[in-house]
Amino acid sequence: MAVYATVNLNAFTDADFAQTFRQQSGSLFYDFTGCQMSMTIRMRAEDAIAELELHSIVGGYDGNLSAIFMYDPGGTGQPPGGLYEWLIFIRREDLQQIPEGDFVQSLIVTRPDGIYDDLWRGTFTNTVGPTR
């Protein structure tokens, strides 16, 4: 499944960050059933301390928790019950704990067979918002 891409994310500290993603090849969507996702945000890749770590939860979105919510959006034309989309959700309160600036981030998928796949890498920019 190794699908390496560059994805750069931008957030503002005066609002929750919520962005939905789907991985597809042609008309086929990747089914992440049985997989787990994790995303870590660090100032520099070699830093021991992470500014934020997110882990996947299967099912509906819960606005009380910063996480990666994996779900079947329906209407994809794919077999029902598969996990075809994911929502990266970071609460405003958590964004306010991260310093302003540019960070590195990556999204790693752990497959059911235990193999770690690098889905993407990129930057995460946290900007102070005026309404905080």
**Quick one: what percent of the chain has pLDDT higher than 90?**
70
Q: Judging by beta carbons within 10 Å of its beta carbon (0-12, 13-18, 19+), is residue 59 exposed, middle or buried?
A: exposed
Q: 10 pLDDT band (50/70/90 cuts)? A: very high
pLDDT of residue 4: 76
pLDDT of residue 28: 79
Strands (E), 59-115: 67-71, 85-90, 101-110
58 close to 82: Cβ distance less than 8 angstroms: no
Q: Which of 75, 67, 81, 105 is nearest to 32 (CA)?
A: 81
Q: Which of 21-35, 47-61, 77-91 has the highest mean pLDDT?
A: 47-61
Q: Domains of the chain (ranges plus CATH)?
A: 5-127 (2.60.40)
Torsion sign, CA atoms 30, 108, 63, 129: negative
pLDDT of residue 116: 94
Q: How many CB atoms lie within 10 A of CB 11?
A: 22
pLDDT of residue 59: 81
Q: 126 pLDDT band (50/70/90 cuts)? A: very high
Q: Which of 79, 81, 57, 80 is nearest to 70 (CA)?
A: 57
pLDDT of residue 61: 78
Q: How many CB atoms lie within 10 A of CB 35?
A: 20
* Mean pLDDT, rounded, for 115-124: 94
Q: 75 pLDDT band (50/70/90 cuts)? A: low
Q: 73 pLDDT band (50/70/90 cuts)? A: confident
Q: Judging by beta carbons within 10 Å of its beta carbon (0-12, 13-18, 19+), is residue 32 exposed, middle or buried?
A: buried
